[in-house]
Amino acid sequence: MTAIALTIAGSDSGGGAGIQADLKTFSALGVYGASVITALTAQNTKGVTGIHDVPAEFVTAQLDAVFADLAVDAVKIGMLSRPEVIRAVAAGLDRWQATQVVLDPVMIATSGDPLIAPEAISTIVTELIPRALLITPNLPEAARLLGVAVATTEDEMVAQSAYLLALGPKAVLLKGGHGDARDSSDLLVTASGPRWFRARRHQTRNTHGTGCTLSSAVAAGLAQGLTLEDAVGAAKTYVTDAIRAADNLCVGSGHGPVHHFYRWWK
C-alpha cells in the first residue's frame, strides 16, 4: 500500500512553509501527500502581508473529500487561525477516527508576523491538543500555550513539557531551535519518560519552514509505519540536513527556505 499523509494547514505563497513545505517534505520522504487548506497567506521570505481564512464549512468539505476516498495513514495539522476552523477540524478527526495526528501549534511566522487570532489559542488547547498523538511546539509557542515565560534551560524545557503533556496529548516534542546553545536540542516526552534529540546548530538565516517541515517529517514517518520515537529521530535528521543545505538555495531576500530536496538536487 502507498503511504499517505494529510496536511491540514495554511498556504504560504512564497513556498517555504505551510502546505507547500508539508507537501515537499512528504514527497522528499517517499509519502503521498494530500492537503486541506485552512487559510491563504500573502507571504514571502520577508514577511506576511495578508491572511485570508477559508470558511469552516469549506475546510470540512475538503477534509471529508480526502478521507472519503484516501486511506490516510497520518495527519499533520499546522496553521489554524480561527476558532470555528479549529472546531471543524476537531469534528472531522473524530468523524473519520484519525488517531495518528501530529499537531504543530503554529502561531508566529519565522519573520515574526502573527498567524493566529488570540482567541483561537484556547480553542486549540481544548479541542485539538487532547486529540493529538504528538504536539510539536517551539519554545515561544510552548510558553504561549502555558502562559509562562519562554524556557531558557533544559530543566525548564523538561518542566514545560510535563505541563504540556498534562493538557492531553499522547506525547510532546518541545523544539529547542530558538535557543542559543551550541546544539539544537529537542525534547520528546511521553508517558514512559523524556528523550533528547540533539544536533549541532548550523548558523544560517535560511530557516523558513523548519517547524512545518519537522512536524510533516514526523507524520511521514508515522505514515510509513515507524514508531513515534523512530519517526521523530528520522525527522530530526532530515530537518538538520535540510537546514545545512539551505544556503545552496538562492530564494528571496529575507529568511529563505530550508532545502527540502537536498538529497535529489545537484
d(CA 194, CA 73): 26
* Residue of 18, 92, 211, 221 marked active site: 211
Query: Residue 124 and residue 137: Cα distance in Å, rounded?
Result: 12
List, in sequence order, every residue forming a beta bridge with 174; answer none if it has no partner: 187
210 is catalytic: yes
Q: How far apart are CA 27 and CA 220, in angstroms?
A: 9
Distance, in Å, from the CA atom of 63 to the CA atom of 72, rounded to the nearest integer, reads: 11
All three cell numbers of 236 = 530530526
Identity of the amino acid at 247: D
Please confirm, yes or no, whether 175 is among the known catalytic residues.
Answer: yes
Catalytic residue among 18, 78, 209, 221: 209
* Per annotation, catalytic residue among 24, 76, 175, 236: 175
Is 10 among the catalytic positions?
A: no
Q: Which of 212, 221, 240, 256 is catalytic?
A: 212
Has 207 been annotated as catalytic? Answer: yes
From the list 25, 38, 45, 210, the catalytic residue is 210
What is the 3 state secondary structure string of 84-106? HHHHHHHHHHHHCCCCCEEECCC
Query: Which residues have CB under 8 Å from 82's CB, separation 6+?
Result: 53, 56, 117, 120
Q: Looking at 136, 207, 213, 240, which residue is catalytic?
A: 207
250 is catalytic: no
Distance CA 196, CA 173 (A): 9
Find cell 496553521 and name the residue.
79
| Residues 6+ positions from 55 with CB-CB distance below 8 Å | none
Provide the residue count of the chain: 266
Residues serving a catalytic function are: 175, 207, 209-212
